[in-house]
Amino acid sequence: MNFLAADLQELVDTVLPTRFGGAPTDYQFAEREVGGLPRVEVVVSPRVGHVEETEVRETVLRHLAGLGQGGRLMAGLWDQGETVTVVRREPHATGVGKILALHVAEARESI
């Protein structure tokens, strides 16, 4: 079960900047695998200033849970499995400098 890219885009474009400040380019979701398990990092640029990482995580899960029955189920699984973490660094940019809402790390890449 997955969330649609549009769901993550709304978080990056509107929900997180409205709640915590900064611009859409200050936020990104980064997916990677750790020990065979999926992990989702909510990347928050240091430019945003101080944020409570717990509040960022809860805001993301609450928004996703509000997307209907499937969203509630998936957000609950992500919460129980501690799948979502918050990291403070610059979002990953593409080769042409674009910051996408979702960055999928390659196995050899360290994010």
Estimate the crossing angle of helix 53-65 against helix 69-80, to 10 degrees. Answer: 150
pLDDT value, residue 110? 45
Taking the domains of the chain in order of start, what are their residue ranges? 5-89
Q: Which residues contact 5 (CB under 8 A, 6 or more apart)?
A: 101, 102
Q: Which fold has domain 5-89?
A: GMP Synthetase; Chain A, domain 3 (3.30.300)
pLDDT value, residue 34? 83
- Tens-digit pLDDT string for the chain (111 aa): 456 678 889 999 999 999 999 999 999 999 888 888 888 999 999 999 999 999 999 999 999 999 999 889 989 999 999 999 999 999 999 989 999 888 887 654 444
Q: What is the pTM of this model?
A: 0.87
